[in-house]
Amino acid sequence: MKRSALEQICPNLRHAVKSKHGLEKESMRVSYDGNLSQKPHPETLGSSLTNHYIKTDFSEPQLEFATNPRPRIEAIVRELQDLHIFASRRMQGEWIWPFSMPPILPKDEDQIPLAQYGRSFSGSWKTAYRHGLGLRYGRKMQTISGVHYNFSFSNLFFRQIFGKEIAKFDKQEISETYLNVTRNFFRKVQDVLYLTGATPAFDETFLPVPVDFPFSRFKSHTVYAPFATSLRMSEIGYTSKVQEKLNIHYNSLLEYIDGLCAAVNTVNPEYVKFGGFPSQLNPNYLQIENEFYSPVRPKQIPKNEERPIDALLNRGIQYLEVRCIDIEPESPMGVSKTTLAYVQMLLLDSLLHESPKIEEKENLRIRENTRRIIWEGRKPDVKILNEDGSEIDFRKSGERNTMELFPIAEELDRHTGKSFYSDTLKLMMSRWEDPSRTPSGKFLGRILDEGWEFRDLGMHLAKENFRTLSQMELTPGKWNSFEKEVQKSFRDLDQIENQEKIKKNTTAKVCDH
């Protein structure tokens, strides 16, 4: 898209620079011998139920770092860096695993500990949900970690698009805008997986007998797919055959809500055998909305006891959660500013183009293209399906898509006074020219060329990252802020548990009478 077209649709992109950005990044804790940690969540990091910044995800040793929403990418990356510095200094005898694919796992999946959240019902509820995930998908799959990038347009940006005051915006208009972006993002998600994917290999303890997949073995413990980009997003990761059959689409807000609502309220006969609470929350296709795995999800922050579906129905879409970003092994924080800047530009580009509804035929084509690039994205002359069903050269298509982002980059750079966005695209173009420069290519190249076992390279990088983080200084005031949140999280946990205890005792007395 040329600058003139940009100016016609959106004459001033400076408000796009100030859109809201946020990060959620998962990471495993590992002991010094490279095994998944069996220690409980460190008390020095606060309560995993109530700490705003550092929680746990599926497993007890699976840290989840969450930043505040910020108007600049640099700010959320810096806050994520601060959280890693804080956590590294507070952990004893452990390091943060640098890959999305897990470290050495126990042979028995039941020895992968579920996240624990205390004695409250809400804590038990969260653990039961995770127990259900383990039964449905396997605990090993759930140990895969990643980066979630949350993005929302600023109110000023929406005012520019719709040409009216923010108070007059209709939630339907805003939701339709986000869904337009979502559909176009899906159409190019294979580019994201190629340019940012970093999971072409894993330790044999994750999948000891890889059958029916094009895997190779290296040395004693490493398994890899020669041309893979993001196995995290494949059938051995966060692609579920059950969920692919769900009728969840993005053509309208009500259609999305209806599909999600049906999934969380319809019993899956295959899940009935697992029983009810506390083995799982329920036997439905999705226990809750968050179980839906998708490269990008429309979100609205629930209020009080509100369910995510009701939040979307009541107030529409507030932001998009991009979930297809692998942890970057070369970054101590696991994600770089360049990756986020590229995704931001792709989201903006998705807004500035027409976004027709995705019918079933196109949906199947998108899935097939995604599958091809996950498994063979770096293969020479790999093809993807065009709109008419013919095959086209993937890398040439990706180069064109990335070239179309340069007017957006130039406009964003013009308002920031830097060349950051243009430099980001130049880096991405170099990855189209040479697949070995992609994160997956560099990662696999290092394993094969330098003779590393996956597990040994992971520990080497974990140690290096710890040293790097230990030499970094926190943003002024951040240490006290994180420490105050640790103490507050314990007070909040006590309050929750005490309130439930009082409520339980009161109920018992009423029953006695």
- Domain contains 281: yes
- Domain contains 258: yes
- Number of Cα atoms under 13 Å in the Cβ half of residue 98: 22
Tell me the CATH number at 292: 3.30.590.20
45 burial class (0-12, 13-18, 19+ CB within 10 angstroms)? buried
Q: Hey, is 385 helix, strand or coil?
A: strand
Pairwise CA distance, residues 51 & 490, whole Å: 8
- What single string gives the DSSP state of each residue in 23-56? EEEEEEEEETTSBBP-SPPPGGG--TTT-SSEEE
- Domain contains 408: no
457 in Cβ contact with 14 (< 8 Å): no
Pairwise CA distance, residues 123 & 117, whole Å: 4
Alpha-helical regions (H) of 229-307:
241-244, 253-265, 269-272
Pairwise CA distance, residues 261 & 240, whole Å: 18
Tokens 């968050």 found at = 290
Establish whether the linkage from the previous residue to 278 is cis, with ω within 30° of 0: yes
Two structure tokens written together for 451: 């003779």
Pairwise CA distance, residues 502 & 67, whole Å: 34
Work out how many domains the chain is built from and give that number.
1
Contacts of 352 (CB under 8 A, 6+ apart): 1, 5, 6, 9, 10, 408
- Provide the residue range defining the domain that includes 206: 18-380+430-500
Pairwise CA distance, residues 407 & 226, whole Å: 35
Pairwise CA distance, residues 97 & 26, whole Å: 10
- Domain contains 279: yes
- Give the model's pLDDT for residue 322: 98
Query: Computed over its alpha carbons, how large is the radius of gyration of the chain?
Result: 23
- Domain contains 387: no
Pairwise CA distance, residues 182 & 203, whole Å: 33
Name the residue among 381, 377, 379, 402 with its Cα closest to residue 393: 381
- What single string gives the DSSP state of each residue in 104-115? B--SSGGGSPBP
- Domain contains 242: yes
- Domain contains 11: no
Name the residue among 48, 10, 200, 70 with its Cα closest to residue 475: 70
- Give the model's pLDDT for residue 122: 93
- Domain contains 401: no
- With vertex at residue 169, the alpha carbon angle to CA 72 and CA 304, rounded to the nearest 5 degrees, is 70
Pairwise CA distance, residues 134 & 279, whole Å: 10
**Long-range interactions of 52-57: CB distance < 8 A, separation 24+:** 52/485, 52/489, 53/83, 53/482, 53/485, 54/83, 54/86, 54/87, 56/115, 56/117, 57/26, 57/115, 57/145
Pairwise CA distance, residues 46 & 226, whole Å: 41
Q: Catalogue the E-assigned strands of 274-318.
A: 296-299
Pairwise CA distance, residues 98 & 460, whole Å: 9
Residue by residue, pLDDT tens for the chain (513 residues) are 444 445 555 555 655 556 899 999 999 999 999 999 999 999 999 999 999 999 999 999 999 999 999 999 999 999 999 999 999 999 999 999 999 999 999 999 999 999 999 999 999 999 999 999 999 999 999 999 999 999 998 887 777 777 666 556 678 889 999 999 999 999 999 999 999 999 999 999 999 776 788 899 999 999 999 999 999 999 999 988 899 889 899 999 999 999 999 999 999 999 999 999 999 999 999 999 999 999 999 999 999 889 999 999 999 999 999 999 999 998 999 999 999 999 999 999 999 899 999 999 999 999 999 999 999 999 999 999 999 999 999 999 999 999 999 999 998 998 888 999 999 999 999 999 999 999 999 999 999 999 999 999 999 999 999 999 999 999 889 999 999 999 999 999 999 999 887 655 543 333 343
Two structure tokens written together for 464: 């290096």
- CA dihedral sign, ordered 179, 180, 183, 185: negative
Question: Quick one: DSSP state of residue 203?
Answer: E
**Long-range interactions of 502-507: CB distance < 8 A, separation 24+:** none
Contacts of 97 (CB under 8 A, 6+ apart): 27, 28, 29, 30, 103, 145, 458, 462
28 in Cβ contact with 36 (< 8 Å): yes
Pairwise CA distance, residues 436 & 441, whole Å: 4
Measured CA distances, 41 to 47, 114, 186, 257, 513 (Å): 8, 11, 36, 35, 42
